Amino acid sequence: MNRFIINGSGETTLPQDGWRCNIAPSWLFFFRPKSEVSRRHSCHHPFFFWRYLPPVQVCVRMKFGIIGAGMIGHFHAKAIQAMADGTLHSVFDLRPEAAEKIAAEYGAKAFSNFDDFLADPDLEIVTIGTPSGAHRDPAIAALQAGKHVICEKPLEVTTERIDEMMSAAAAAGKTLAAVLNRRFQPAIVALKEASDSGRFGKITSASAYVKWWRTQEYYDSGAWRGTWALDGGGALMNQGVHTVDQLLHVAGPVVAVTASTALLAHERIEVEDACVAILEFANGARGVLEASTCCWSSTGHPAEVHVCGTQGSVFLADESFRVWDFADTQAHDQEIRETLMVGAARGLGANDPSAINFEGHRRNFQEVVSSIQENRPCLVDATEARKAVAVINAVYRSAREGCTRIILS
C-alpha cells in the first residue's frame, strides 16, 4: 500500500520513488525535476503527466497536546517529537511559565486556560501527566471535548474512578489509553511470547520486586506526594505499578491477595514506603509482590519480574534477563542470551525518578495512534491499565484489614 507524507505546504511525497504531487480525488498530477524526467513517462509535456492510482493510505501526523508540564510532561514531549505519526501541537499547565518552557522548546502553543486548550479544533489527542489522583477530571473533560486521551500511570488511583473515565470514553466514542511503556521493551516482548507459547509449561511461581530508594526530599518536593488523595498510595502505587502491570501481562490475572504495608524510613507522608503481598493467580501459581522506597543503593536496584514453571524459568531485571532457561531450547534463545542478558546498566528510575528513557513512551504513543488510524482495539487501553490498579487496591485493602485475604472480583 502506498503511503503519503504530507508536508507543511499541502503537498505530498511518495517516499518510495520521490515524486511529488497534489492530491486529487482519484487522479494524481505528478511533477519531477527536469533532470529526472523519464522520456517514457512524458505525456504531451516533458515535465508533467497524469497517473490514476487506487485509494491510498494517507499518513497524517496526529496533533498532540500535553496536560501537565512537569518532569513527565518533558518526557512526553520528547517521545512525541520522536514519533513518525505524531507532532506536539500544544501544552497546558496552570503555571504559564511551565507550559511556555516546553512549548518554546518544541515549537508548540502554550495554554494556561484549560477550556481554551481543549477548544482548539486542531488538537486531536492529549497526554496527561498530572498527579495520579488528578487524572480523572482532565481526562473526562478532554474526552467530552472530542479528544483521544493517553494517561500516565496509574490510569487513576481507584478502579471506581477508572470506570468513570471508561464510561466517558465510551460515550464520546474516543480512545482512552494508558502509559504502559515497559510492555514495549524487547525483553518483556520476548517474555510475553514465551509465556503465550507455553514454554513455561504450567506456571507455578510469578513474583515482582521493586526495591528502590527515595529520599525524604523527594516526598517533600511536592505537597501531593505521599498522599492518598493524589498519589493513591506509596511505593506500590507510584513506583511499583509498572512492574505489577508487567507481572500480570505475562503471568495472567490475580484472583486473591494477602498483604502487609508499613512506613519505615520516611516522615510526613500518609502512605507506605514498604509493602509485601502474597499473590494467588487464576492459573494456580503463587507469587510475592514487594515494593519499597526505603532500600538504599549506590546505583539503584533493578525492578524484577520472576516467572517459573514446570518447563522454564525467567528472571527479568529492568530491560534485561538475569535468567533465561527453558527445557525446550529454541534457536532464538542464544540470540536472547547474547543481546538481552544483564549487563552493567543501572536500575531504571531506582534511585532517580528522572533516570528513564523515552523510547518506551514513544512506542506506547505510536501504538495508540496506530490503533486509532487502523480502527482496532488498542493494546494499552483502559481495560488493560485497570488490571494493575485493581490488584493494588486489593493489596491496600488487605493491609488495612489486618492482612485479610482479599478475593478480586
Q: What is the CATH number of the domain that holds 93?
A: 3.40.50.720
3-state secondary structure of 280: strand
Asked if 125 contacts 98 with a C-beta cutoff of 8 angstroms, the reply is: no
Quick check: helix, strand or coil at residue 191?
A: helix
Which parts of the chain have pLDDT scores under 70?
1-59, 344-356
Q: What is the DSSP letter of 294?
A: B
**For cell 498530572, what's the residue?**
130
Using the 3D structure, point to which of 139, 163, 179 is the last residue of a domain: 179
H helix intervals, 157-292: 159-172, 186-196, 216-220, 241-251
Domain boundary among 158, 179, 200: 179
Output the pLDDT for position 54. Answer: 53
253 and 287: one domain? yes
| One domain, residues 151 and 235 | no
197 and 288, same domain (yes or no): yes
| Statement to judge: residues 196 and 55 lie in one domain | no
Is 71 among the domain residues?
A: yes
Q: Which long-range contacts (CB under 8 A, 24 or more apart) does 7-16 make?
A: 12/58
Rg of the Cα atoms in the chain: 24
Domain range for 28: 3-59
Looking at residue 288, its pLDDT comes to: 98
Residues 320 and 224 in one domain: yes
Residue 343 lies in a domain: yes
Q: Is residue 364 part of a domain?
A: no
Report yes or no on 275 lying in a domain. Answer: yes
Question: pTM for this one?
Answer: 0.84
| Number of domains comprising the chain | 3
Do both 137 and 273 map to the same domain? no
Helix (H, G, I), strand (E, B) or coil at 369: helix
| Residues 34 and 163 placed together within one structural domain of the fold | no
Same domain flag for 151 and 194: no
Instruction: Let me know whether 83 and 199 are in one domain.
Output: no
Same domain (yes/no): 285, 243: yes
Question: Within a domain: residue 363?
Answer: no
- Domain contains 366: no
Q: What is the pLDDT of residues 249-271, one digit of tens each?
A: 999 999 999 999 999 999 999 99
Asked if 139 and 14 sit in the same domain, the reply is no
Residue 373 lies in a domain: no
Q: Is residue 374 part of a domain?
A: no
| Peptide bond just before 154 cis, omega within 30 deg | yes
Q: Does one domain contain both 263 and 214?
A: yes
Q: Which of 179, 198, 218 corresponds to the end of one domain?
A: 179
Distances (CA, A) of 107 to 72, 81, 111, 121: 18, 10, 13, 18
CATH number at residue 316: 3.30.360.10
Q: What is the pLDDT of residues 340-363, one digit of tens each?
A: 998 744 445 555 555 567 899 999
pLDDT at 42: 40
